[in-house]
Chain A
């Protein structure tokens, strides 16, 4: 088991290095960093000084590791567009995205698993069929469309909820939170539904299909043949076996919430790192793009690793190496 963990950590490190390489290459080869940082009026001396300062005269590999070293310390350079350190910008905007992601994720998990179990157990009922049909729409509708339609309904027509921004936020140390104000909470509602709906539908359909598979298994038949109550069969036997594969996929899905936040933040003009990234892409602001890429990678790799290790904790068959 230790061997497995080490192997996974090693793999994760490789992935991060590769992503770092991609980010660094972007930095070096897309456009000219010097062009981007100095204005029209520059002297050769300025250019030369910047070259040395940025280490552009050194071999590729050296620059690469310097880049990684900087990144590890949180130094991602300066934004072409804003002229401020990227790290600062990201730190300012991170809380917005993280809060949104947390609320959406919680929504997706709770409602998703609940509905998934329900539609599996009551497979042939009307409610189940209705929910399944609606879920198909949830999966087919692009996130931005959901957001726009929600805005249309609740902001334009009903004027109940805000259509953009975070509302008022309160600073707790470095962290700006929207949880403590009414306008902040109201502003969270539509975006989190928008962001979480897709995940919720996926989780629901996954849980349902896994549970239906499990309910077809022999040990479920045997459990019924022993006269166990439906509650025991569904929740003790079926659910446990269902959740094992569900957890891995779910974990990975939830990680992608942060990435999908890009879309939701654009629709609602939510001042998070997603909107920052989109603006960076539009302006070809490489430092911001690279920084976002690196941070997201670290997050994804970490989530993948955690989920893999979680598998161990849950499935006893994996704990005993080699036997059977």
Chain B
């Protein structure tokens, strides 16, 4: 597989506010290959969702892409006209949102919502679109799909609703799926099912997945590679086993120490002192240096080292575990 499905090339997003221009996404670059699941982790406000929105072109005013490029299957999509971008959404990029309750229009049946999406992209006509819709519901594991297709969203439980959402996002067979915290709003017992479903479907279709979450457990279970974001910037990216098992960036290291599953039975979870800086008050140089145990003078000046490291990259002058 040569061309990655998604390529972010120094993508930046800016929001002009009365406090000045904020950069919720700052020169982020990564690739996702066909059939690969890239997890994107970080704290709330780190810019993960914003990146996803930028890729699919749904940034709310006044946020806008201010630099870099987004390439889908080799073609630039960040500079398309709204009409062109509309054709891309749904058909080539599918997005799953966080809250299944509010993602579905309460006044339309799920059959209607599925059919209209299928029809918009595949132009099948009503009967055929309906058949496809039933098949889509079957695929995501909705029992008795033929009967339930005319039900309203409120007649489903949370987990079922999220399945419907997944069906909707995937029914036009996109090659890239962006899942923005798909399990955060669900019960723990249901989360595993949904994640498994997502993983299976995407593997079956060979879709590339950008899985945004703050849950390390989900990443460990599901992702092939993981990107760690901090204050809008990419801190570290690499294969899951490597990043989680032997993190190079001090922030990732701190995260692992603070994560129950990774701390392997230690009695206390280590806390990273301080908090992620607000976008309006970013420190000069590396955004993490005020909280970093290994910071030195260089860190206050030059923010963007990229040390290639095997299959990954680290944005740190003094990555841990370096020789």
Contact = CB atoms under 8 A, between A and B. Distances in A.
Q: A and B touching (C-beta < 8 Å)?
A: yes
A218 B103 contact: yes
A313 B123 CA distance: 32
Interface stretch (B26-34, B104-112, B299-307, B312-320): B104-112
Given A221-B97, A222-B168, A227 B120 contact: yes
B88 interface: yes
A42 interface: no
A198 to B, nearest CB: 30
Given A225-B56, A228-B116, A323-B155, A316 B107 contact: yes
A226 B113 CA distance: 10
B50 to A, nearest CB: 14
Contacts of A223: 105, 113
A229 B58 contact: no
A122 interface: no
Interface string A219-262: 10111111111101000110011001000000000000000000
Interface in B75-115: 86-91, 94-95, 97, 99, 102-108, 113
A315 interface: yes
Contact of A226 (B89, B102, B108): B89
Nearest to A220: B105
A318 to B, nearest CB: 11
Nearest to A317: B154
B132 interface: no
A226 B93 CA distance: 8
Contacts of A232: 116, 120
A226 B168 contact: yes
B121 interface: yes
Contacts of B89: 224-227
B216 interface: no
A225 B154 contact: no
Contacts of B172: 226-227
B152 A227 contact: no
B120 A218 contact: no
Contacts of B104: 219, 222
B157 to A, nearest CB: 10
A317 B104 CA distance: 14
A223 to B, nearest CB: 7
B107 A227 contact: no
B85 to A, nearest CB: 9
Nearest to A241: B107
Most buried by B among A219, A224, A225, A323: A225
B86 A222 contact: no
A221 B97 CA distance: 9
A185 to B, nearest CB: 40
A24 B36 CA distance: 80
Contacts of A236: 108, 116
B41 to A, nearest CB: 22
B255 interface: no
A217 B121 CA distance: 23
A323 B154 CA distance: 9
B252 interface: no
A222 to B, nearest CB: 5
A316 B108 CA distance: 9
B107 A228 contact: no
A157 B104 CA distance: 56
A218 B90 contact: no
24 contacts: A218-B97, A218-B99, A219-B103, A219-B105, A224-B89, A225-B56, A225-B58, A225-B89, A225-B169, A226-B90, A226-B94, A226-B117, A226-B168, A227-B88, A227-B121, A227-B172, A228-B117, A228-B120, A232-B116, A232-B120, A240-B107, A240-B108, A316-B152, A317-B152
- Pick the 7 closest A-B CB pairs, nearest first: A227-B90, A227-B89, A218-B102, A226-B90, A225-B95, A219-B105, A222-B103
